Chain A
Amino acid sequence: MLCEDCGRNRAVVHITQIGPDGKIEKNLCERCAAKYGEFLMENQKHRNVSMNDFLKGVFSAGAQGEKPQQEKVTELVCPNCGMSYRDFQQTGKIGCSVCYATFRRQLEPLLRRIHGSSTHSGKIPHRTGGTLTMKHTIESLRSSLKECVAQEEYEKAAELRDKIRQLEHELMETEGGESDGRQ
């Protein structure tokens, strides 16, 4: 009899394994049996539960929250890659970059569930990022302005206010075009 796993060598070991799928009995060669033996070197390889299973659950749960609209949601299809919301629920994977725009409304609550946030605050690509860098700078200046006012440091606040005005003006001019704002 040949080994049931590799099909190449003579089976010399009979194993019985009890796992999540019930009882498995196999006749194996020495080498393949060794893999079942002491321990598994790569635990991912035979992992029964994957991150995707959980994501699938998250996707499905997200749809249930909006029951009245559920029919409509599952019929949404990405114009770029043809992925439907139902596909997400099955695979737990996104199809293409356009999907994120197509399913934005459905994805946002899920992102918050995974990451605790749905707003990116890291690196921004120089070219594709457009005026985003400037917007972020303005945003952070505004929050420090608020802090200054709260601390009653009005001179500093005035400085910041002028800076924000200047940046907003620049932003108006470059809007639509490309900016080379600093990283």
Chain B
Amino acid sequence: MAVNELLRSSSLSWLAASGKDSDVVLSSRVRLARNFKEIPFPNRADFNQLTAVRLQAEKLLPGIAADLGQAFDLLDLERITPLQRDVLIEKQLISRNFIQNPQHRIAFITADRATSIMVNEEDHLRIQCMAPGLDLDTPFARASHIDDMVESQVDIAFDEKMGYLTSCPTNLGTGLRASVLLHLPGLVFTRNIQSIMNISPQLGLAIRSVYGDETESVGNLFQISNQLTLGFSEQEILENLKTAVMEIVSHERQARKALALYMKERLEDEVWRSYGTLRYARLLSEKEVLELLSKVRLGIDLKLINEVAPDCYAEILISSRTSYLQNLAENENLSKHEIDRLRAEHVRNALLAHTRSQEAPK
């Protein structure tokens, strides 16, 4: 079953280490919020109205699928288990907000996993497109194209002055949220991340650490996105984000260069220790994997480690998550110890699978 594959696969095309500036930018994402005219927004709609939205969306889908040349998997949130919902959230294919009321909530996800359409999330339609590296234009073009196809068949809630109408006024106007996933170990180690965090809001951008809490970021992963959606054109919003990201990328590279220059031995030692632990450990916690994995990726990007391909990063990122492992083992009641053992096993296998053959050292 395709849905099973969706949950069990440990790769996501848009996390591939192939895109532009992929040494710092892991992936780019664009989301459009759209609503059908006159039907109350999902938080205020009754079950009949939610069903009507759902049926309408299902009717639109074949046309969109044919046009994109991609088959969609349909996921009915009510028909999958809470654990399976968590796996989809871990893979960032649906939002946490989406699972709070699973009734009449469905998601369409393309075979390449780079497009997902959530029906009856906060808005009737949330069109999400992803791409590896720094590339906001491709996903925006795709999302906008899907939007055009929807709009050619259904009346979309739109106001001449206020733009696309959304459930939350913070999305009003373009309904566009563009975000970029960044790996910033250099800025974290050189303690420059705080200034980035402070400057971003002044540029109308929100930046947050993906894992961990306010005081501690784990895995050095950050997501930066536009905050304002009204009063700017889509191109302006994307351009603003892109410019800021390029600036952050250049600072990150400088920081890495400084690390490699002034503390080469310590850095090498840290990188190889992390690699060794991931390669041979028998028990690994989620947090530990994220921390070590970040250093290994840094080592690969700085060409300190050549024997393993950068794509091991994305695979481990996905396959070391607790819900993913529980789902794979088909057992929700594994003890923490058992999960840590499974996790270590997956990490070892992923590193082995991505090890380059010895005869081709660059």
Contacts and interface: CB of A to CB of B under 8 A. Distances in A.
Most chain A beta carbons < 10 A, residue from B41, B176, B230: B230
A55 B287 CA distance: 34
Contacts of B170: 51, 55, 114
Contacts of B20: none
Interface string A11-50: 0000000000000000000110010001111111100000
Contact of A127 (B151, B159, B209, B212): B151
A94 B169 contact: yes
A115 B229 contact: yes
B212 A123 contact: no
B43 A93 contact: yes
A45 B96 contact: yes
A136 B148 CA distance: 19
A79 to B, nearest CB: 11
- Interface SS majority for chain B: loop
Nearest to A120: B163
Given A114-B170, A117-B230, A122-B174, A39 B38 contact: no
Interface in A67-104: 80-81, 83, 91-98, 100-101
B351 interface: no
Given A45-B96, A120-B162, A122-B174, A97 B35 contact: yes
Nearest to B339: A31
A123 B234 CA distance: 7
Contacts of A128: 37, 151, 155-156, 158
A91 B208 CA distance: 25
A167 interface: no
Given A96-B39, A111-B172, A115-B172, A42 B96 contact: yes
Given A81-B44, A111-B169, A122 B176 contact: yes
Given A80-B40, A121-B232, A97 B287 contact: no
B336 A83 contact: no
A123 B158 CA distance: 10
Contacts of B216: 39
Size category of the A interface is: 35 or more
Contacts of A122: 163, 173-174, 176, 232-234, 237
Contacts of B172: 111, 115, 120
B38 A100 contact: no
A142 interface: no
Contact of B169 (A41, A96, A107): A107
A129 B161 CA distance: 11
Size category of the B interface is: 35 or more
B5 interface: no
Interface in B156-185: 156-170, 172-174, 176
Contacts of B214: 43
A125 B336 contact: no
A143 interface: no
B231 A120 contact: yes
A44 to B, nearest CB: 6
A114 B169 contact: yes
Contacts of B147: 123
B163 A91 contact: no
Contacts of A121: 231-233
Contact of A31 (B169, B229, B335): B335
A164 to B, nearest CB: 19
A177 interface: no
A110 B169 contact: yes
B152 A100 contact: no
Contact of B231 (A98, A107, A119, A124): A119
B211 to A, nearest CB: 6
Interface of A: 8, 30-31, 34, 38-45, 51-52, 55, 80-81, 83, 91-98, 100-101, 107, 110-111, 114-129, 132
Q: Which 7 A-B pairs have the closest CB atoms?
A: A117-B231, A120-B163, A97-B157, A115-B230, A96-B40, A122-B174, A81-B40
Interface of B: 35, 37-41, 43-44, 96, 144, 147-148, 151-152, 155-170, 172-174, 176, 208-209, 211-214, 216, 218, 228-234, 237, 285-287, 333, 335-336
Given A96-B38, A126-B152, 9 more contacts: A44-B96, A97-B157, A100-B157, A110-B169, A117-B231, A120-B162, A120-B173, A128-B37, A128-B158
27 contacts: A30-B336, A39-B212, A39-B216, A43-B208, A43-B209, A43-B213, A51-B168, A80-B38, A92-B168, A93-B44, A95-B40, A95-B44, A96-B39, A96-B41, A96-B157, A97-B159, A100-B157, A100-B159, A118-B161, A118-B230, A119-B230, A120-B163, A120-B174, A120-B230, A121-B233, A125-B158, A128-B155
